[in-house]
């Protein structure tokens, strides 16, 4: 009986970074299983480089924010209070306190 383990397929990825000391752009071509692995590798090997990653994580965070219907500022959705009269309106804690007083 033989145990067979398959290695993940590797591809070439471009990593873009900025040097902390000089501010100059840096580029690396890295063979890795994924873009995230390539970015992580460069960040570990070149600690003086600030790796520029995609903003997919930022897009996820923005989905969880919504504006207060009174003051218009953005707040995390779980911090907004629904209006007792009109549940489609949501208020931040400060505005909810002012409007209920």
Could you tell me what percent of the chain has a pLDDT over 70? 86
pTM of structure: 0.50
Give the separation between CA 53 and CA 68, rounded to whole angstroms: 30
Helices (H), 1-101: 35-45, 56-63, 93-100
Task: Domain ranges for the chain, please list them.
Answer: 11-54, 64-100
Q: Helix or strand or coil: residue 16?
A: strand
Please determine, for residue 101, whether its predicted confidence score (pLDDT) is greater than 70: no
pLDDT in tens, 25-58: 999 999 999 999 999 999 999 999 999 987 655 5
pLDDT in tens, 72-83: 998 888 889 998
């Amino acid at each position: 009986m033989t145990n067979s383990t398959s290695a993940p397929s590797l591809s070439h990825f471009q990593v873009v970074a900025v040097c902390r000391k000089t501010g100059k752009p840096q580029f690396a071509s890295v063979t890795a299983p994924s873009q995230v692995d390539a970015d992580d590798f460069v960040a570990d090997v070149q600690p003086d480089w600030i790796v520029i990653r995609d903003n997919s994580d930022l897009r996820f965070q923005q989905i969880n924010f919504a504006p207060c219907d009174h003051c218009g500022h953005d707040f995390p959705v779980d911090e907004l209070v629904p209006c007792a009269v009109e549940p489609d309106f949501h208020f931040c804690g400060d505005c909810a306190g002012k409007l209920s007083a």
